[in-house]
């Protein structure tokens, strides 16, 4: 059976990005573990998703068969991003820490896919995530923002929002000392990738 991987990068540093190198290694590990792997790739820094606004909200909340042409234009990308997420067995996300938090382009992706009635629902028992049986592997990289520290506002947020839409199997590969001891930090992250379960 085909193992579908959604590979998301969000770094602005092109091929020099540590997080991009780690997400590539994670995807390669998954490909080596699954003979039939299908990868969908999104470079959020190159895609320019744009920020959501009132027109976007009206478009995505209008049934597809009732949208105007402008609403279709506004909703098409968001619908595509949601479809990619729903089809994935594993989501691999690059999370470089910018100013103690997630990059704005990754936050924009979250805003596009976290949609009531589509990826989560409100019930009498509280919110329920609708993305089921999906695993997430996050490559967390920073110059010195220690993973899980009081000033790490990136990893906890991403874990929470993924759980909110139903993705509770979340693993982090961490290289958080890029400006302190880059070699040792990267070595530890790659060792973790080598040990990842299929």
DSSP string covering 52-98, please?
--HHHHHHHTS-GGG--HHHHHHHHHHHHHHHHHHH-SEEEEEEE-B
Contact 122, 166 (CB under 8 A): no
Annotated binding site: 17-19, 141-144
Kindly tell me the sign of the dihedral angle through the C-alpha atoms of 115, 40, 43, 106. Answer: positive
Q: What is the DSSP letter of 101?
A: B
Annotated binding site for FMN: 17-19, 141-144
Q: How many CB atoms lie within 10 A of CB 60?
A: 21
Q: What is the DSSP letter of 192?
A: H
User: In terms of Cα–Cα distance, which of 94, 62, 98, 92 is closest to 78?
Assistant: 62
């Amino acid at each position: 059976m085909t193992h579908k991987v959604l590979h998301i990068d969000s770094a602005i540093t092109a091929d020099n990005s540590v997080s991009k190198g780690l997400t590539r290694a994670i995807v390669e590990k998954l490909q080596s573990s699954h003979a039939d792997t299908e990868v969908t790739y999104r470079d959020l820094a190159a895609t320019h998703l744009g920020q959501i606004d009132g027109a976007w909200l009206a478009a995505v909340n209008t049934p597809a068969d009732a949208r105007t042409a402008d609403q279709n234009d506004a909703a098409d990308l968001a619908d595509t991003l949601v479809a990619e997420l729903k089809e994935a067995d594993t989501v691999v996300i690059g999370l470089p820490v910018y100013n103690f938090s997630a990059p704005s382009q990754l936050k924009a992706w979250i805003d596009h896919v976290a949609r009531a009635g589509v990826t989560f629902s409100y019930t009498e028992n509280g919110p329920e995530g609708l993305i089921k049986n999906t695993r997430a592997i996050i490559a967390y990289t920073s110059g010195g923002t220690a993973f899980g520290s009081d000033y790490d506002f990136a990893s906890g947020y991403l874990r929470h929002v993924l759980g909110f839409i139903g993705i509770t199997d979340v693993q982090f590969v961490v290289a958080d000392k890029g400006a302190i001891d880059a070699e040792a930090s990267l070595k530890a992250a790659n060792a973790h990738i080598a040990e990842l379960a299929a």
